[in-house]
Amino acid sequence: MKQWERNIRKVVPYVPGEQPNKKDMVKLNTNENPYPPAPGVEQVLRGFDADMLRLYPDPTVKLLVEELAGFYSLSKDQVFVGVGSDDVLAIAFLTFFNSERPILFPDITYSFYPVWSDLYRIPYETQPLDQNFRIIKEDYYKENGGIVIANPNAPTSIYEELSVLEDIIQHNQDSIVIIDEAYVDFAGASATQLIGKYENLLVVQTFSKSRSMAGMRIGYAMGNPVLIKAMNDVKYSFNSYTMNQTSILAGVEAVKDVAYFERCRNNIIKTREKAVSTLRELGFTFPQSGANFIFATHMLIPAKEIFEELRNNNIYVRYFNLPRINNYLRITIGTDEEMERLFVFLHQFIRNYSK
């Protein structure tokens, strides 16, 4: 092995999640939205003046920051925009978690929290969820270098009431508490309403789920102006221009169309509630979902078997071969038609399985 090979950074080999692209497949594996983005998004691209691409984009992403600030009734110095919530969260880790004390997050949660911690050499300590996958808030009442909680949590789909989060935020006024709300639009109240009350709170959201724009890579953080300025300082200091012109303008259109946003969101919630009944009839159990997916286990058939059988039949859901959750399937809520294809298949598969 050559010297330069020895100096290559060691990382845990990671294969990006399956992104099948087959004819007639039912893709319920990556929590994408089954509906297209707001019509204004396509319009803005169709009318796009490509000459503006020769110039660097606005590093402050002013247009989109202002549109988001308006939507959430915040001021524009309370909003930070980045290339998907992964980018935003990574910058937040880098900006706020510079202490010798470990940061805290649940043992079962978004898989990138430990990855960014390792990347930036941030010590961390996971706190086990209880046997029903619920957060034990008292676990977070100890010295720490910061806290990250996904609400609703992934892949469990569970939404904790704001009062639980507020307790944690209140007990940790020396730390930054990040609430990662990728799925909150499918659940209940957002922690954004606590921003005025707690200056140590950062709320992160994304355009990838409820705004149907996973392909555009837009995420954002909201918090007190000191936090937002610190994130911008860090971002500008090492890469000023990350949001491209098309995502800035398309993002604005997506936020503007409030009626469309609510219609899609409500459709997905409606489809989810129908799925809840059907899956229950089919012998599945699952926590109550506050997300655009259901985290289900079957009373008789191992999750891995169902997962593989579905895949063989061109229906893709997500399976995690990880401790505590290796008998669960994460099933994204698609259109009513897609869910129907899933149910028809499951019905037959389960009936034959028992025989």
Q: Which stretch binds its own copies (CB under 8 A): 158-166, 234-242, 274-282, 346-354?
A: 234-242
108 and 223 Cβ atoms separated by less than 8 Å:
no
Identify residues 211-230 at the interface with its own copies (CB under 8 A): 212-217, 226, 230
Judged by beta carbon, residue 156 or residue 332, the one nearer its own copies is 332
Q: Which stretch binds its own copies (CB under 8 A): 6-14, 267-275, 300-308, 345-353?
A: 6-14
Judged by beta carbon, residue 19 or residue 132, the one nearer its own copies is 19
Identify residues 112-131 at the interface with its own copies (CB under 8 A): 112, 115-116, 119
Judged by beta carbon, residue 174 or residue 281, the one nearer its own copies is 174
Identify residues 167-196 at the interface with its own copies (CB under 8 A): 173-176
d(CA 84, CA 163): 28
Identify residues 86-105 at the interface with its own copies (CB under 8 A): 86-87, 90, 94-99
Q: Token pair of 41, please?
A: 């998004």
Count H helices, E strands: the chain? 11, 13
Q: Which of 15, 259, 299, 300 binds its own copies (CB under 8 A)?
A: 15
**C-alpha closest to that of 204 among 228, 182, 232, 172:** 182
Residue 166's SS3 state is helix
Q: Is 334 in the site for its own copies (CB under 8 A)?
A: no
Identify residues 241-280 at the interface with its own copies (CB under 8 A): 241-247, 250
Applying CB under 8 A, the site for its own copies has a residue count of: 88
Q: Which stretch binds its own copies (CB under 8 A): 28-36, 133-141, 284-292, 314-322?
A: 28-36
Question: Shortest distance, CB of residue 298 to its own copies, whole angstroms?
Answer: 27
Question: Shortest distance, CB of residue 285 to its own copies, whole angstroms?
Answer: 29
d(CA 270, CA 232): 38
d(CA 208, CA 37): 10
202 and 92 Cβ atoms separated by less than 8 Å:
yes
Q: Which stretch binds its own copies (CB under 8 A): 68-76, 126-134, 237-245, 309-317?
A: 237-245
Q: Is 322 in the site for its own copies (CB under 8 A)?
A: no
Q: Which stretch binds its own copies (CB under 8 A): 57-65, 126-134, 161-169, 289-297?
A: 57-65
Using the Cα atoms of residue 90, residue 34, residue 274 and residue 309 in order, give the sign of their dihedral.
negative
d(CA 41, CA 214): 13
d(CA 278, CA 268): 15
280 and 288 Cβ atoms separated by less than 8 Å:
no
Q: Is 5 in the site for its own copies (CB under 8 A)?
A: yes
Judged by beta carbon, residue 214 or residue 276, the one nearer its own copies is 214
Q: H or E element: which one contains 170? A: helix 162-170
Judged by beta carbon, residue 170 or residue 327, the one nearer its own copies is 170
Question: Shortest distance, CB of residue 280 to its own copies, whole angstroms?
Answer: 28
Contacts of 123 (CB under 8 A, 6+ apart): 100, 101, 102, 103, 117, 145
Question: Shortest distance, CB of residue 265 to its own copies, whole angstroms?
Answer: 13
Q: Which of 8, 259, 299, 300 binds its own copies (CB under 8 A)?
A: 8
247 and 218 Cβ atoms separated by less than 8 Å:
yes
Contacts of 298 (CB under 8 A, 6+ apart): 282, 283, 284, 285, 306, 350
d(CA 32, CA 27): 9
Identify residues 139-158 at the interface with its own copies (CB under 8 A): 145-146
